[in-house]
Structure 1
Amino acid sequence: MMDSVKSWMQEQKMLQDGEAVLVALSGGADSVSLLYYLKEQSRTTGWNVSAAHFNHHLRGEESDRDEAFCRDLCQKWGIPLQISDADVRGEADRSGESEEQCARRLRYDFLQKAAAGSKIATAHTLSDQAETVLLHLSRGAGLRGICGIPPVRENIIRPFLRITRDEVEAYCKENSLLFITDSTNTRREYARNRIRLDVVPVLQDIHPGFLKSMDRCTAWLRDIKEFLEQQTQDVLTKACTQNGYRVEELLKHPPAVRREAIMELIRRAGGQAQALHVEMVEDLLSHPGGADLSGKVRARQKDGLLQVQPVHGKEPQWMEPIPLKEGTFLLPSGIQMTVEAVGIDEKENFNKMLFNNAIDCAKIMGTAMIRRRMPGDRFHPAGRGCGKSLKKLFQEAGVPLEQRDLIPVVCDEEGILWVSGFGPDQRAAIGAGTRRLYRFESVRR
């Protein structure tokens, strides 16, 4: 089993020798096995392995038991451990999220802070993958949802995504690994538990190779998704005007591309691209009017133009300029910004789309900063003609006035290096001589 994990990690380029990795440790069989595996492999790879545990305080004394178990385990194995906690129920009430959504957000925020830019390893298995895909299918998810859990996303890696939960538990038994069990795992009021306990066994009875088949299927779907996303960017570029997206252009394209374009617009506006919301926007393409999408996003079609925009209560505020550094952090504007410095050889599979979100480190002049737009800013988009003022660029791209001050801009002492959504400046673009780069991602939270 572990030979399979090793090959999978190499195939996905998850970790380089000597690299630091933080394991998300719950105390369950999956995360204990992952921590043990990485610890043992570090003897030959030089990985700097540490762990982090987040106490959600959702299960009373059992939550505290989990924390104590993780403390004792890491002390026994000599592994550095970081611990944090939160009142998830209280925070969920304040934010309007479900407890599950809130717990996930708080947990990953903590993990990113604890990792400080290094890799984060989570112990998701092929069994988790199958449950996730089935759950998303039951809710009418689009292509992104049924692709399941990605093996690598930003600095998050999932070494166990090709092996099953049964294989993990066998590994625990083989190595005499102790672990704890979440008592809520058997409660059928949770949809995921019902899928794991009732649905998956039936599918495995029908086809014993169900989980491995699901693995192949999600891999194919991820390839299709990547192609479709590239097509979508082309469609949105053609349809974009100063005041919205031309309905006539959107309707020229096949339904699959059109729906993906709608989902991308909803995500850009800070919404969740659920099937119902996509149908509502599709209906607007044929019938002018407006639609509220879950209270966070509003779509409108008027005079042949489609607009999909966030609904703001209190407008987010921008911060003072901050130094460019690695890590993931939430800006006061409501934008989550991820900055990663990598060697070009570490990103052999970088495609053109990803290069549009990167700059050459060697071309930075002086101190680089992240800031909002400033009067007089000029930008020369790499490979796209002459330079122009940032104000004019935003106008031509149809960026709503109220959003223009929220867009992250990376600059140095010579001017703009990169603009979120528009890519690098010509002088900072990746070239044949690039050896090290900064890669960026920004999403509205």
Structure 2
Amino acid sequence: MLQKFQNHLLHNFQFLNGKKLLLATSGGIDSMVMVHLFQQLEYKIGIAHCNFQLRGMESFGDQDFVQEYALANEIQVFITQFDTKAFAEDYKLSIQVAARELRYNWFYEVLETEKFDYILTAHHADDNIETFLINLTRGTGLEGLTGIPEQNENVIRPFLLFSREEIEAYAKVNTIQWREDSSNTSDKYLRNKIRHHLVPMLKELNPNFLSSFHKTETYLQEAQAMVEDASIIVYQQVAKQEEENIHFDLNQLKKLPNYKSYLYQWLNEFEFSAWDDIYDLVESQSGKQVFSPEFRLLKDRDFLILSPINFVDEKEEYLIEENQEEVKIPLNLSFYKVADISIVSNKTIFVDANRLQFPLVLRHWNEGDVFQPFGMDGKSKKVSKLFKDEKLSLLNKENTWLLCSKNEIVWIVGIRQDNRFRIENNTQNILKIELE
């Protein structure tokens, strides 16, 4: 196994030579064999151990075991403890997901602070099969069937070519000590049920199952690569980036024979899960939305608009004093006293400063807001009606600010000035307000 591992590193991970490697080490057989092999090959390694405090004193026994091994072998060691249950409850996560988030966040922290180059985990071939079957039982796209990647940015998994049987045999021959995790014997978790019952049955049906699975996984990875290539080409025809938003042209999208697959490919990385709702958006009325934890997809006439979720505080407001010349937050506004007016635009207005009551207020619009559009003497209009006439999307509405004098709107910023503050022939005090 040592020679096989050395050849594997030489052909697939030659870039690890001379690098500083952080080995994720639970104390179990897989990670302890990985540590042993890297010691034999004299790589620069450190050990990182997480105590999730999920198994009482047994968890602390694992911690002591890893720490003692590192000290005895003069290996740099990093230990941390997590209140995993509390974290899972606070963020409404499963224990497994919470542990994974805590673990990798800490690994990356150690990677940066201690100047390691890569994180290495001891995931092996049987772990790969179990992950495939878990994803299959839950329902997944093609990418969920391509297995655990050997490399994901700075995370390397060099053990995926080894089976659990190979690892156990090497540990016994080399008298490697390890800790047994009592939770691995329980069928409480889906992974353990698959490990204890389904995988042995598959191996019984086909003694070469691991080899066959590896071939299938390779074919699926190749198919996924073709899908990704096609997805990039079509994306360039359908999608357009506008600042932090992505606009998908529905007229172009619906020309595709299988547009749902493309939507899944494009949106899956944004952690959406309500796929039927997303597909229904294509034919829904404007204003319908679907949310992921950090993003939303909005139907706006002939577009689907993907944007980060920015929660709008309707009570958020900013005061502008009389002699203030500029505002930087939330908008970049400038105020100038001028002798005459020049070109008026959506981004530049001129008002009668004597009609203003300071401090001015910059706030979000509210339902029921009414103003008098510039050029329409005495005629009032709901701000919401203006938005509709201007065909503003929900995102545009949420990002629109009103400049107000007391309870009167001076300017729907960047869109329309209010007529009540217009410049007249007898205006003595002209204020130019500009959105930069």
Instruction: Please show how residues 11-410 of structure 1 align to structure 2 within 5 Å.
Output: 11-13=11-13, 15-42=15-42, 47-116=43-112, 117-241=116-240, 242=242, 244-255=247-258, 258-267=260-269, 270-272=270-272, 274=273, 277-288=274-285, 290-293=288-291, 296-313=294-311
- Aligned 8 A contact 1:244 1:305 in 2: yes
Post-superposition Cα deviations, 1:18-69, rounded to whole Å, max 9, x if no partner, equal: 1111100000000000000011111xxxx21111001111111111011001
- Aligned 8 A contact 2:278 2:290 in 1: no
Superposition RMSD in Å: 2.7
TM-score, structure 1 as length reference:
0.65
- 1:301 deviation in Å? 2.6
- 1:291 deviation in Å? 4.8
Paired residue for 1:345?
none
Higher relative contact order (CA 8 A, sep 6+): 1
Distance change in 2, residues 1:74/1:402 (3 Å): farther
Provide the C-alpha distance between the structure 2 equivalents of 1:157 and 1:314, rounded to a whole number of angstroms. 40
> What residue identity is the alignment partner of 2:54?
L
Provide the C-alpha distance between the structure 1 equivalents of 2:266 and 2:397, rounded to a whole number of angstroms. 20
- Aligned 8 A contact 2:296 2:309 in 1: yes
Paired residue for 1:326?
none
- 1:236 deviation in Å? 2.0
Runs (4+) of structure 1 exceeding 6 A deviation are: 400-404
- 1:244 deviation in Å? 2.1
- Report % sequence identity: 28
Provide the C-alpha distance between the structure 1 equivalents of 2:49 and 2:309, rounded to a whole number of angstroms. 35
- Aligned 8 A contact 2:295 2:309 in 1: yes
> What residue identity is the alignment partner of 1:248?
N
Distance change in 2, residues 1:180/1:401 (3 Å): farther
Distance change in 2, residues 1:28/1:170 (3 Å): same
TM-score, structure 2 as length reference:
0.66
SS in 2 for 1:73: helix
Deviates more, 1:208-217 or 1:139-148: 208-217
- 1:14 deviation in Å? 5.4
Distance change in 2, residues 1:204/1:260 (3 Å): farther
Post-superposition Cα deviations, 1:274-324, rounded to whole Å, max 9, x if no partner, equal: 4xx333322322444635345654333342211234445589xxxxxxxxx
Distance change in 2, residues 1:9/1:220 (3 Å): farther
Greater gyration radius: 2
Deviates more, 1:176-185 or 1:1-10: 1-10
Paired residue for 2:357?
none
SS in 1 for 2:41: helix
- 1:138 deviation in Å? 0.7
- 1:8 deviation in Å? 2.6
- 1:222 deviation in Å? 2.1
Where structure 2 has 5 or more consecutive residues not aligned to the other structure, the ranges are: 314-330, 333-392, 400-436
Deviates more, 1:32-41 or 1:206-215: 206-215
Provide the C-alpha distance between the structure 2 equivalents of 1:166 and 1:296, rounded to a whole number of angstroms. 42
- Aligned 8 A contact 2:143 2:224 in 1: yes
Provide the C-alpha distance between the structure 2 equivalents of 1:26 and 1:280, rounded to a whole number of angstroms. 41
- Aligned 8 A contact 2:6 2:41 in 1: no
Provide the C-alpha distance between the structure 2 equivalents of 1:84 and 1:24, rounded to a whole number of angstroms. 12
- Aligned 8 A contact 1:132 1:149 in 2: yes
Paired residue for 2:5?
5
> What residue identity is the alignment partner of 2:264?
I
Provide the C-alpha distance between the structure 2 equivalents of 1:140 and 1:310, rounded to a whole number of angstroms. 26
- Aligned 8 A contact 2:299 2:305 in 1: yes
